[in-house]
Amino acid sequence: MKKKLDQKLIRNILTMRYNPEEKPLIFPAQINDFKLNNRDGDGRITEKLLKNSLHRQIGSNNSFVVSLSGGIDSSLSLALLRDSFPDSDIFAICGVFEGSFDESVYAKKIAKKFDTKFKILKMGSIFSNMPEIISITQKPKWNTYTHIISREAKTFGDVLITGDGSDEIFGGYTFRYSKFNNLTSSKDNWKKKTINYLDCHNRDWIPDQKKMFGTRIKFDWNDIYNYLKPYFKNDLKSLQQVMLADFNGKLLHDFLPSNHVISKKYDISIISPFINNDVSKFGLSLPLSQKFDRNTGKGKLVLRTISDRYGISYIDEKRGFSPSLWFDWKKSGKKICEKYILPNDCYVFKKNLINQDWVLTAFDKVNDDGDIRYLNRLVSILALEIWYRIFFTNEINSKKQL
């Protein structure tokens, strides 16, 4: 059966990193979820809900693997897991990208504190491993490199614990909140807020986004704004609107669907204590004062309280688990992109999906100006080209190294 070339999917993934038209796996957050006005100053209710979530999802398993960084989300997940299953075997894996910030030093200490076996997993090149990455979701996406951790985890157990959802529910995207507050005034309408929100995700698009696409892709910013309109045209406080958009955006349409297909591919259950209806309903309802402190810039305040009770020392600054694109670009990515998305006969040009003149200009911006936003777009275009060659022309095998 021939795969259909979905033009909206291409437009959305290369602009938002996900396709909001796809049906989510869990119920979206609702405006009223933020209006229940629950409180949990000492974090006791949240802690109980998180433990209940683990017990319900895990069942009778007695060995687990944890995707462990040095941050609060996975560290707290491990602490709650050990407290809930004191006699179980737990194995922790910390993925490390060459040239990127190494969290394994912190993760190893946390693993030792909670009597957990520990392994550092070296992650490969995003560029050279693009076919394998693309084959996971069968979409032109390159941010599914977490599948490497799941594949390794399967060798140690059938259940992988993550900290997914914590940021969206309990207020972890502090850099976004601060920027959004600086950009937004109380008089702004939904469209201005939407534009400001997208500016907080500006590595997903570039100012001349419309010029990037070829004639076959119909691009209009108003189409993108309308996806986000329900999150900003309501009576919630501005940061609650951001949190609503975060939950119903990348969590529902990017991170969770990716985990789902990875889970199926490696026959491993990927579980987060935060991805539970009781946890999300309660967490979303907490007041902003228990999520984000504007004066200190710190977020996830309730989770910090719980973590302190368990004596967890975590990396305070949000790092995120991602490769160093610049390092990877200089080592191998530039040559790979020159081979696959510069030639006149590459499919993204032949099929009028991407504007060739724009790509040539983008290469100059990356090489001459070191523009990370344009580098991100080039990586996405490479993913699109490789996706086409895997699923439409069958020229590339998913196991091929570029």
At 55-100, the pLDDT tens digits run 999 987 778 999 999 899 999 999 999 999 999 999 999 999 988 8
What is the chain's length?
402
CA distances from 80 to 86, 225, 236 (A): 10, 39, 32
321 CB-contact burial (10 Å; exposed 0-12 / middle 13-18 / buried 19+)? buried
pLDDT at 385: 98
Pairing of strands 89-97, 117-123: parallel
Reduced to 3 states (helix: H, G, I; strand: E, B; else coil), residue 306 is helix
pLDDT at 174: 94
CA distances from 275 to 51, 306, 397 (A): 12, 18, 34
- AA identity, residue 262: I
- Using only C-alpha atoms, the chain has a radius of gyration, in whole angstroms, of 21
pLDDT at 52: 97
- Enumerate residue ranges in the chain where pLDDT < 50: 1
- Other C-beta atoms lying within 10 Å of the C-beta of residue 234: 13
What are the structure tokens assigned to 194, written together?
Answer: 């939407």
- Spatial separation of the C-alpha atoms in residues 171 and 146, rounded to whole Å: 22
Residues of the chain with CATH 3.40.50.620: 36-171+241-309
- Other C-beta atoms lying within 10 Å of the C-beta of residue 339: 12
pLDDT at 99: 87
- Spatial separation of the C-alpha atoms in residues 130 and 329, rounded to whole Å: 13
Does domain 36-171+241-309 fall under CATH 3.40.50.620? My reply is yes
- Does this model's pTM top 0.75? My answer is yes
pLDDT at 320: 61
CA distances from 49 to 2, 274, 306 (A): 46, 9, 12
pLDDT at 1: 43
DSSP-derived secondary structure letter, 86: T
Phi, psi dihedral angles at 119 (to 5 degrees):
-140, 135
- Spatial separation of the C-alpha atoms in residues 336 and 133, rounded to whole Å: 15
